[in-house]
Amino acid sequence: MLSQLEKAQRFRELHTRPGAFAIPNPWDVGSARLLVGLGFPALATTSSGFARSRGIRDYQPGRDNVLRHVAELTTAVDVPITGDLENGFGDTPEACAQTITFAAGVGLVGGSIEDSTGKKDAPQYELAKAKDRVRAAAEAGRALAFPFTLTARAENYLVGNPDLRDTIARLQAYQEAGADVLYAPMLKTEDDIRTVLREIDRPLNVLLGPRGFGLTIAQLGALGVKRVSVGGALANAATSAFLRAARELHDAGGFGWTKELLPSAEVDELIARGTPK
């Protein structure tokens, strides 16, 4: 197994190479090993995918359960993993800093802090407070014995505030506060991405939503995007296929879904390939 320092260095190097790289989001050990078996050089956790694997809604597991889940993943594969650390599991800058320290303690070499509060009446932290939270997380990351890669997320488009100008202002503030990577989930168009890229000087992570942008990873890289994640989409794809098969089995007593199954030997081979030697 690579050391945490080696994983952290590899993760940083991915952000300095030409073009963009895809960072898929597993939701359990099996999916993580399959993704590594396919050749992905790094992974990111997904809060929604993990929550659904536990039979609950997104944001319900809580920090302790998320950290236990992360510890399982980081010891199950030999690639860098960055964590979806939600809003730092607390409102204060101190909570964000503590979460970064705890996340590093269970093997993560990076993690994201978002500016969503989880409150309907005020879904995003006021900018000054949001910036302080990122600064505290960045300082906690820099205090570690390896280069922790902090991603700061502006959640405007996810919380019903699709204001590109405010999104950019937040990303610029998080950049100033010490974030290593910037992320505004669910940007709507290629033009939005181009505009954001002109206004920041940190690597940009783009979330490839259900419809994407009609662009490949290479084309996003040509725009200047550095990292492309898919959030809970892979977990949703697996769940969708499961439900289609289960509904056919239940409603019609049919087995047409078995025609699309991969050979067990192929799946087992990928899992073995993704398992640390």
> So what's the pLDDT on residue 188?
86
pLDDT digits (tens, 9 = 90+) for 44-85: 999 999 999 999 999 999 999 999 999 999 999 999 999 999
pLDDT < 70: residue spans in the chain: 209-212
> So what's the pLDDT on residue 60?
93
Structure tokens at 203: 């690597």
Q: Give, in words, the CATH class of 4-273.
A: alpha beta
Nearest to 137 by CA among 127, 152, 123: 152
pLDDT digits (tens, 9 = 90+) for 210-244: 556 778 999 999 999 999 999 999 999 999 999 99
Distance from C-alpha of 246 to C-alpha of 108, rounded to nearest angstrom: 35
User: What's the predicted TM-score (pTM) here?
Assistant: 0.96
Instruction: Please provide the DSSP assignment of 163-227 as one string.
Output: -HHHHHHHHHHHHHHT-SEEE-TT--SHHHHHHHHHH--S-EEEE--TT--S--HHHHHHHT--E
Cα angle: 17, vertex 19, 20; to 5 degrees: 100
Percent of residues in the chain assigned helix, strand, coil, to nearest 5: 50, 10, 40
